[in-house]
Structures are given as structure tokens and as C-alpha cells.
Amino acid sequence: MTALSNLRAKSINSLIFKAFEFYKLHFDNIVAGKHKKALFDMIAEDCDALQQIVDFSIEHIYNDRSVVEIENAGYNVMYALLNHFVSFP
């Protein structure tokens, strides 16, 4: 296992345990439908490093020209398929 793979696995493990911790803490509100915030958002607020990863990903990955072009192509395909197979009033 490479160092990067190991770091990825440890990060995922930490996020799983953190999500479980927040889930237990807010269980009553979650099952009652009163919890209004995603667990991931709560973890990101609690962990500065995770928020930095989110910010970096948004700036350098999700808004990259090639990613946006692929997303737009997918949107156009879904739009055309829905128009072809579903009739709208």
C-alpha cells in the first residue's frame, strides 16, 4: 500500500467514526426529522483540515473547465432523454 493510499484509508476511517459520533450525538433530532444540517457539514465545521480540503476541491477540482464541460454534457443528455421519454403538460 502506498503512502497516499494509506493516508486516504486513514482519512476515510476517521470520517466514518466522526460521522458516527455526530450521528449518535444528534440521533433524536435526526430520527424526528428536526435535524437541518448534513453530518458532513457538521464535521467540516469541527475539522479545519477537512474544510480546507473542501475549499481546495471546489476551487481547483469542481470548477475546472473540463469538469464543468463534462457536467454540462451530462445535463444536456439527461434533458434530451427526459424530453424524449417523459411528456410534460
Taking a C-beta distance cutoff of 8 angstroms, is the pair 25, 42 a contact?
no
Q: Helix 48-57 and helix 39-46: axis angle, to 10°?
A: 110
pLDDT at site 5:
87
Among the listed residues 17, 18, 16, 42, the one whose alpha carbon sits nearest the alpha carbon of residue 29: 42
Residue 43 has pLDDT above 80, yes or no: yes
Residue 1 has pLDDT above 80, yes or no: no
Q: Where are the domains of the chain?
A: 1-35, 47-89
Percent of the chain with pLDDT over 90: 37
Residue 85 has pLDDT above 80, yes or no: yes
Please compute the mean of the pLDDT values over residues 28-52 and round it to a whole number. Answer: 88
Is the overall model pTM greater than 0.75, yes or no?
no
Residue 33 has pLDDT above 70, yes or no: yes
